[in-house]
Structure formats: C-alpha cells, structure tokens
C-alpha cells in the first residue's frame, strides 16, 4: 500500500482506436507526402503520415486514428471490429490514397484504448456548455485529489493542452 498527501490523477477520460503499419516510405518516395493527415469518411477516420524519419528506407504509417473527429459513433464502431477487419479497412483506405501500395503494408499493429484497462483514451472534446459545469468541476481539487493532463487543459486534444491545469 502506498500513502501520500496528494494524488494527481492523469488517467485520460475518453476513448481512442489506432492501427499502424511498417512499410517502405512509399508516401514520401513515390507520392511526395511528407507528414500530415489524410481524412476519410470511414470508421478509421484518418491516415497519419510521420513527420520524423524523412528519407529513411522504411517507416511506420498510422492507418487509423479514430477518436471521434467525424462523429461519436466512429470510435466504438472501429473498436468493435476484429483485428483483421481493422487491418482490411485501413489497407483499403491507404490503397485509395496511394493506389497499388496497400500490398506493401506489413507488420500491422492495432490498439483500442476503449478496450485497454486503465487507459481508455488520449483526448477529450469539451463542449462549450460543459466548460462551466463538468469541466469546471473536474478542475477543482477534491481534498488531496487533483486531475491533470492534457484532457484537463482548456485546449482540447493536442500538445498545447498538455500543460498543467490553469495554464
């Protein structure tokens, strides 16, 4: 058992699903895509091109990043898919963006934070009406318990929001 005077809880609040592939960096070498996002209307929501490692022979391409950008139904729909279904959808979308290159994708990995105990997400999307209610309540300490993390920042879902509460 651990005893402390203060508890700072940084467990994120919402959910996320993600698939990544290892591949030759065809998006750079053949299509001159250097970083950025490719948006889709599928449940995988987007393809995330790496900014790092430009010019290397191989890289990791995120073929899904489903956290509700296109609507609240996408993450649970994507998380409910089997690994093979996630991989097939991701490969199909990447092949739409880069015809003929879907077959080059290897070593897929899929993570669904919705199904990962004690994690359950990476970001939150506070609605304006929640700022004065739910968000305001979570910003207050409960005795020695404080919530912290980018989900507690006023700026949603990005590195700028990773500072301490009230920053």
**Could you count the other beta carbons within 10 Å of the beta carbon of residue 134?**
14
Residue 14 pLDDT more than 50? no
CA atoms of 165 and 90, how far apart (whole Å): 36
Share above pLDDT 90 across residues of the chain, in percent, rounded to a whole number:
28
Region of residue 162 (left: phi > 0; alpha: psi -120 to 50; beta: else): alpha
Q: For the chain, what is the mean pLDDT?
A: 79
Q: Give 39-51 pLDDT, tens digit per residue.
A: 999 988 989 898 8
pTM: 0.64
DSSP string across 78-91: HHTS-HHHHHHHHH
Which of 24-33, 44-53, 61-70, 143-152 holds the top average pLDDT? 24-33
What are the extents of the domains in the chain?
Answer: 17-113
Answer with the residue of higher pLDDT: 114 or 86: 86
**Cα torsion for 148, 149, 155, 156, to the nearest 10°?**
-120
pLDDT confidence of residue 113? 66
- SS3 of 125, please? coil
Q: Does CATH number 3.90.660.10 belong to domain 17-113?
A: yes
């Amino acid at each position: 058992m651990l005893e402390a005077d203060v508890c700072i809880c940084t467990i994120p609040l919402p959910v996320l699903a993600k698939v990544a592939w290892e591949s030759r960096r065809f998006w750079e070498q053949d299509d001159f895509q250097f970083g950025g996002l490719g948006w889709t209307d599928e449940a995988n929501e987007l393809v995330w091109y790496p900014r790092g490692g430009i010019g290397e022979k191989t890289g990791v391409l995120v073929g899904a990043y489903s956290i509700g950008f296109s609507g609240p139904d996408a993450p649970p729909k994507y998380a409910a898919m089997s690994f093979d279904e996630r991989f097939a959808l991701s490969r199909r979308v990447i092949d739409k963006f880069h015809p003929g290159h879907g077959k080059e994708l290897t070593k897929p990995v899929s993570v669904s934070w919705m199904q990962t105990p004690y994690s359950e997400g990476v970001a939150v999307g506070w609605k304006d009406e929640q700022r004065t209610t739910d968000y305001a309540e979570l910003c207050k300490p409960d005795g020695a318990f404080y919530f912290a993390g980018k989900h507690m920042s006023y700026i949603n879902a990005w590195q700028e929001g990773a500072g301490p509460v009230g920053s």
